[in-house]
Amino acid sequence: MKKMIALVASIAFAVGMVGFAAAQTTPAAPAPPAAEKKDDAKKKADKKMADCMTKAGTDDAKKADCQKKADAAAKKAAAKTDAAKKEEAPKK
């Protein structure tokens, strides 16, 4: 009788351990790094500037205007990322 009780207890223990191990969840996948987003935005900005320069042709004034627009957009993006970093700092 003692052996039967020990067998039932060991089976219950084994089933419980298997159930406990199976119930473990994996952590959520981390968000994609911001570097990839920056690369996409940079590629898009570079393409936009290249298109602008192509449209400008040989006109130096139009090329300068394209450069000014690109610089302003880069400055705005940098300010936006700096503001985002400042917001994230207190959240830690």
Res. 73: pLDDT tops 60: yes
- Domain of residue 57 covers 2-91
- 35: confidence class by pLDDT, cuts 50, 70, 90: low
What whole-number distance in Å separates Cα of residue 74 and Cα of residue 72? 5
Residue 62 identity: K
What percent of the chain has a predicted confidence (pLDDT) above 70? 75
- 63: confidence class by pLDDT, cuts 50, 70, 90: confident
- 5: confidence class by pLDDT, cuts 50, 70, 90: very high
What whole-number distance in Å separates Cα of residue 32 and Cα of residue 56? 37
Q: Number of folded domains in the chain?
A: 1
For the entire predicted model, the pTM comes to 0.44
